[in-house]
Amino acid sequence: MAHLNLWKQELGEVPESVWDRTDLETLVLADNGLESLSDRIGALTRLRMLDLGHNKLTSLPAALGDLAGLTDFLYLHDNLLTELPPSLGNLRRLRYLNISENELTELPIAVCELAGLIELRACDNRIASLPAAIGNLTHLRELHLRNNILSTLPDAIGGLRELRQLDLRGNPIVALPKSLLDLPRFEKLDLRWVTTIEDGDVIDELARRGCVVYR
């Protein structure tokens, strides 16, 4: 397996020679002060893991959606992203996505097209609502939404039949949908630092069924 680790090299921009490495299966470009990314990244179709975390990216090229081999991890956390390219939805075999610590005000629809996702981290953004399309993530086991501005969740969250863990810490949640009770494998609900819930019926029923609720 071909690896290239350029973590914390103060690159400023990615050397053109990196895009010639079409044999790469893992590429780490984290913590390099990157502000943009070349379309040439789309040539790295054998990548299984890509780490772009801890940079200064404000946008991503559409060519990111050409990385058909990206199955293991995509790290985009701690950047300045306000949106994601629709082409990202092409990565339907991707299992782990981290888009935490960005400037997102909504969960991009492209994320809801990643049917293979097992774990999604979207903490520390400004997400105010989730689209009903999140119910398409039928393989998702962990959903981490800490420190956003969510007040409710869509009923469609009941479609996440594999969901085990849901982290809502630090959100101004007012009510939880009853569809959470439809999740057969739900084990852990984290509501620490949430002081706004008006109706605890769903919480009480989840706890009665053996789901661990942190408050």
Residues 3 and 58 in one domain: yes
State which residues form the domain around 50. 1-127
More confident residue, 198 or 73: 73
Distance CA 95, CA 92 (A): 8
Residues 192 and 165 in one domain: yes
Residues 19 and 120 in one domain: yes
Residues 105 and 137 in one domain: no
Residues 135 and 105 in one domain: no
pLDDT confidence bin for 86, thresholds 50/70/90: very high
Helix (H) or strand (E) run with residue 74 in it = strand 73-75
Residues 6 and 111 in one domain: yes
Residues 137 and 113 in one domain: no
Residues 157 and 122 in one domain: no
Distance CA 72, CA 97 (A): 9
Token code pair at residue 106: 């909504």
Owner of token pair 């009853």: 178
**Pairing of β 212-214 and β 188-190:** parallel
Alpha helix (H) ranges present in 62-189?
none
Residues 136 and 114 in one domain: no
Residues 157 and 119 in one domain: no
Per-residue confidence (pLDDT) for residue 199, from 0 to 100: 82
- DSSP 3-state of 189: strand
Distance CA 64, CA 84 (A): 10
Residues 122 and 36 in one domain: yes
- Sign of the dihedral through C-alpha 94, 50, 143, 132: negative
Per-residue confidence (pLDDT) for residue 11, from 0 to 100: 97
Give the rounded distance of the alpha carbon of 208 from its chain centre.
Answer: 30
pLDDT digits (tens, 9 = 90+) for 1-51: 799 999 999 999 999 999 999 999 999 999 999 999 999 999 999 999 999
pLDDT digits (tens, 9 = 90+) for 99-144: 999 999 999 999 999 999 999 999 999 999 999 999 999 999 999 9
CB 1 within 8 A of CB 23: no
Residue range 169-186: average pLDDT?
Answer: 97
CB 58 within 8 A of CB 37: no
Per-residue confidence (pLDDT) for residue 198, from 0 to 100: 83
Per-residue confidence (pLDDT) for residue 197, from 0 to 100: 93
Distance CA 99, CA 107 (A): 10
Instruction: Look up the pTM and report it.
Output: 0.97
What's the number of domains the chain is made of? 2
CB 78 within 8 A of CB 56: no
CATH code, 203? 3.80.10.10
Per-residue confidence (pLDDT) for residue 1, from 0 to 100: 77
Residues 14 and 105 in one domain: yes
pLDDT digits (tens, 9 = 90+) for 181-212: 999 999 999 999 999 998 889 999 999 999 99
